[in-house]
Amino acid sequence: MKKLLFIYNANSGIGNMVLDVAHKLFSPKTYNCKLCALTYDTFSENLIWKDFRKNSNLDFDFLHLDEFKAKYPDEAFSYPVILDETAIGLNEFLSTEAINAISSIEDLILVIKHKIS
């Protein structure tokens, strides 16, 4: 495994960030990016996730949907998704369905640790 790419089902930019925060505040059950909801609290990165990320030996890259499509225009997945980037290309590490089934940041961390071991 070369790198894990976390692709959020949200676009970059201040305007999109404001809309995402509002959506999380007023209608969290209909928010369309479970990966965002797991790794970020309403206003900042989830502290448990941040600690895991900083203390991990894994190489992470985090991209919004528009950033991913600009960087990898020939790739198409269901979003959000976590991809494994290797020398031969991108592979699905955790699908949208798998991410949506995870209920807590602790569970996401356990799944990642299990899959890489």
Question: What is the rounded distance in angstroms from the CA atom of residue 1 to the CA atom of residue 37?
Answer: 25
User: From CA 108, how far away is CA 111, in angstroms rounded?
Assistant: 5
Q: What are phi and psi of 111, to 5 degrees?
A: -65, -45
Tokens representing 100 are 């949506």
Q: At 56, list the tokens.
A: 């991990």
57: which DSSP letter?
Answer: S
CA proximity to 30, closest of 45, 39, 20: 20
Question: Which band of pLDDT confidence, cut at 50, 70 and 90, is reported for residue 44?
Answer: confident
pTM of the shown model: 0.84
pLDDT digits (tens, 9 = 90+) for 58-110: 999 999 999 999 999 999 999 999 999 988 899 999 999 999 999 999 999 99
Cα–Cα distance measured from residue 85 to residue 91, given in angstroms and rounded to the nearest whole number = 6
17-30: pLDDT as tens digits: 655 554 555 555 65
Our count of domains for the chain comes to 1
pLDDT of residue 37: 84
Domain range for 87: 3-116
Beta strand 89-94 pairing with 81-86: antiparallel
